């Protein structure tokens, strides 16, 4: 029973997060209040939404390096739309951002599906293209807080039942993804394609199409995050969220989503993102320079992948004992 529990990576991750929080609480009890937890969760919401999209893509043995660039482009377009037509209802702006993000995801998906180009190459290319497009759109100009309407900036902060809309939105996305992954043929297909693409073909699953939908999903979520990011930080420019694609992948890896595809869960992605969120928010509290965050998340990624690999190791017969043991 105990051994089985310890092998469940979601539970392992919960234990790790609790241990981390307890460690911080030893010296700074103020970190462990419901209000503080709510703040950390709210701060991690965007990362959670993005990690959910990345999870779907990684499950199908692909990767989406263009998510942060997609976020920046969709966010910029949302901000431009808002400055040009301040009267436009915000839900419509959000829909436009999501549609644009979905479209950019479709571009990735089409290239992977129809042309069979390796996903890492496709998204490496579109990553630079999407960022470049922002520059072409804006000439490198910033859109600052005073140019955005109050409704545009205010929505993520708006409190409903004591929690900001940003947190509610991420909870909604988690719930939706739970349904998609666990209760729909598409969710099944994601796992099947990543677990064994050949077998998936024989069960009647179109591997390319499934990957295409995974990219559409990650793109749409990136578009939504684009609006959330721009309105939350009240600024839009070419380089917002630069390098964030790696944080998203890190959250997935920490959450036990196997880069080789087919293994992972919504809970894992959420917990992985939360783990990074707790670290990021705890550093200033325990008086460690925020500059240390990068090195710490790097170390955490390496430890997480080492732990996960141990659990995944297939027990085959060792034939060349000497060579296989290096």
Of 158 and 302, which CB lies nearer to other proteins in the complex structure?
Answer: 302
The reply to whether 320 sits near other proteins by the rule CB under 8 A is yes
What is d(CA 175, CA 185) in angstroms, rounded to the nearest whole number? Answer: 17
What is d(CA 286, CA 276) in angstroms, rounded to the nearest whole number? Answer: 15
**Residue 37: Cβ-neighbour burial (10 angstroms; 0-12, 13-18, 19+):** middle
Q: Please pick, from the candidates 14, 117, 180, 186, the single residue that binds other proteins as defined by CB under 8 A.
A: 117
Compute the C-alpha angle 177/180/181, nearest 5°. 85
Question: What's the 3-state SS for 121-176?
Answer: HHHHHHHHHHHHHHHHHHCCCCECHHHCCHHHHHHHHCEECCEEHHHHHHHHHHHH
The reply to whether 77 sits near other proteins by the rule CB under 8 A is no
Minimum CB distance to other proteins, residue 201 (Å): 18
Compute the C-alpha angle 258/261/262, nearest 5°. 95
The reply to whether 284 sits near other proteins by the rule CB under 8 A is no
Which residue stretch of 25-33, 124-132, 196-204, 218-226 sits at the interface with other proteins (rule: CB under 8 A)?
124-132
Q: Per the structure block, which two tokens stand in for 103?
A: 């479209």
Of 234 and 305, which CB lies nearer to other proteins in the complex structure?
Answer: 305
Q: In the chain, which residue ranges form alpha helices assigned H by DSSP?
A: 2-7, 9-27, 34-59, 67-84, 90-114, 119-138, 150-154, 165-183, 185-195, 197-202, 207-233, 244-254, 266-285, 293-312, 321-324
What is d(CA 58, CA 180) in angstroms, rounded to the nearest whole number? Answer: 15
The reply to whether 137 sits near other proteins by the rule CB under 8 A is no
What sign does the CA torsion over 57, 62, 64, 65 have? positive
Which residue stretch of 114-122, 162-170, 186-194, 264-272 sits at the interface with other proteins (rule: CB under 8 A)?
114-122
Q: Please pick, from the candidates 129, 235, 267, 283, the single residue that binds other proteins as defined by CB under 8 A.
A: 129
Of 102 and 261, which CB lies nearer to other proteins in the complex structure?
Answer: 261
What x-and-dash track marks residues 138-157 binding other proteins by CB under 8 A? --x-----------------
The reply to whether 289 sits near other proteins by the rule CB under 8 A is yes
The reply to whether 136 sits near other proteins by the rule CB under 8 A is yes
What is d(CA 290, CA 46) in angstroms, rounded to the nearest whole number? Answer: 19
Three-class DSSP category at 66: coil
The reply to whether 273 sits near other proteins by the rule CB under 8 A is no
The reply to whether 127 sits near other proteins by the rule CB under 8 A is yes
Of 32 and 260, which CB lies nearer to other proteins in the complex structure?
Answer: 260
The reply to whether 73 sits near other proteins by the rule CB under 8 A is no
Which residue stretch of 44-52, 79-87, 224-232, 289-297 sits at the interface with other proteins (rule: CB under 8 A)?
289-297
What is d(CA 189, CA 313) in angstroms, rounded to the nearest whole number? Answer: 23
Of 149 and 293, which CB lies nearer to other proteins in the complex structure?
Answer: 293
Q: Please pick, from the candidates 17, 259, 267, 311, the single residue that binds other proteins as defined by CB under 8 A.
A: 259
Q: Which residues of this chain interact with other proteins, rule CB under 8 A?
A: 63, 111, 115-118, 120-122, 124-129, 131-133, 135-136, 140, 238, 243, 246, 249-250, 253, 259-260, 289, 291-302, 305-306, 309, 313, 320, 323-324, 326
């Amino acid at each position: 029973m105990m051994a089985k529990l310890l092998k469940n990576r979601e539970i392992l991750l919960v234990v790790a997060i609790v241990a981390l929080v307890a460690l911080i609480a030893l010296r700074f009890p103020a970190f462990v209040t419901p209000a503080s937890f709510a703040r950390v969760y709210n701060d991690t919401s965007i990362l959670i939404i993005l990690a959910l999209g990345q999870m779907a893509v990684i499950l199908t043995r692909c990767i989406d390096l263009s998510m942060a660039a997609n976020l920046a482009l969709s966010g910029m377009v949302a901000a431009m739309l808002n400055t040009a037509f301040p009267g436009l209802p915000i839900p419509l702006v959000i829909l436009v951002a999501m549609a644009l993000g979905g479209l950019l995801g479709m571009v990735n998906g089409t290239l992977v599906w129809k042309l069979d180009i390796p996903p890492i190459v496709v998204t490496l290319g579109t990553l630079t293209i999407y960022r470049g497009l922002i520059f072409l759109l804006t000439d490198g100009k910033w859109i600052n807080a005073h140019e955005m309407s109050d409704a545009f900036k205010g929505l993520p902060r708006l409190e409903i039942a004591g929690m900001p809309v940003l947190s509610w939105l991420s909870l909604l996305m988690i719930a939706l993804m739970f349904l998609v992954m666990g209760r729909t043929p598409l969710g099944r297909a994601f796992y099947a394609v990543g677990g064994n693409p050949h077998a998936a073909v024989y069960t009647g699953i179109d591997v390319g199409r499934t990957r295409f939908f995974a990219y559409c999903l990650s793109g749409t979520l990136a578009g939504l995050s684009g609006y959330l990011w721009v309105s939350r930080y009240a600024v839009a420019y070419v380089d917002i969220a630069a390098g964030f694609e790696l944080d998203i992948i890190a959250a997935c890896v920490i959450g036990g989503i196997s880069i080789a595809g087919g293994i992972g869960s919504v809970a894992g992605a959420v917990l992985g993102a939360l783990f990074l969120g707790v670290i990021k928010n705890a550093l200033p509290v325990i008086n460690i320079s925020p500059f240390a965050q990068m090195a710490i998340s790097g170390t955490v990624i390496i430890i997480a992948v080492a732990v996960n690999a141990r659990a995944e190791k297939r027990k085959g017969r060792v034939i060349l004992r000497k060579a296989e043991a290096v």
